[in-house]
């Protein structure tokens, strides 16, 4: 069986939303967008449209998880016309599985990954002691987001 694909005539693209739901909604509502909302559901405007999200969905705003759900649903609805590219802010979250694993948590906080590129970023041990915090997954996650991922408010947005 051969399925005919519609010819794409209009491609929409946006990137670096970083959780800013308001900016994304302004894009959807603009004349430049190939997207629309129908009963609160994100859709492509017409059969000749395609959409590319260029990455960096996470970290700075409080809407990143909602946007992720919407974009994944959009991709499921239009698998051949929606393309989701992962940016560095999306890819770096893959570190969390390793750095917060049970084996990583058994290691001393002195052995934790260091933000070598930022001389002002405190080591995990120093961060924990300066805040009077215990060495837990939650506190390591807060340190990782704030001092190694450049996402100081990401934890609080949850």
pLDDT tens for residues 46-78? 999 999 999 999 888 889 999 999 999 999 999
pTM of the model: 0.79
- In the chain the first and final C-alpha atoms are separated, in Å, by 45
Q: Residues of the chain whose pLDDT is less than 50?
A: none
Q: What distance in Å separates the CA atoms of residue 1 and residue 3, rounded to the nearest whole number?
A: 7
37 Cα distance to chain centroid: 21
Q: What distance in Å separates the CA atoms of residue 123 and residue 81, rounded to the nearest whole number?
A: 44
Q: Can you say whether the dihedral through the CA atoms of 94, 25, 76, 4 is positive or negative?
A: negative
């Amino acid at each position: 069986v051969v399925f005919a694909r519609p010819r794409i005539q209009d491609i929409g693209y946006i990137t670096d939303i970083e959780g800013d739901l308001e900016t994304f909604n302004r894009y959807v509502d603009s004349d430049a967008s190939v997207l629309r909302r129908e009963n609160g559901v994100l859709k492509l405007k017409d059969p000749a449209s395609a959409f590319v999200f260029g990455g960096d969905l996470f970290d700075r705003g409080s809407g990143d998880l909602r946007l992720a759900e919407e974009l994944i649903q959009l991709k499921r609805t239009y698998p051949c016309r929606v393309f989701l590219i992962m940016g560095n802010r999306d890819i770096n979250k893959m570190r969390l599985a390793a750095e917060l694993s049970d084996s990583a948590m058994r290691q001393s906080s002195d052995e934790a990954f260091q933000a070598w590129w930022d001389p002002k970023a405190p080591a995990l041990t120093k961060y924990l002691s300066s805040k009077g915090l215990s060495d837990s997954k939650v506190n390591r996650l807060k340190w990782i987001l704030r001092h190694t991922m450049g996402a100081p408010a990401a934890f609080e947005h949850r």
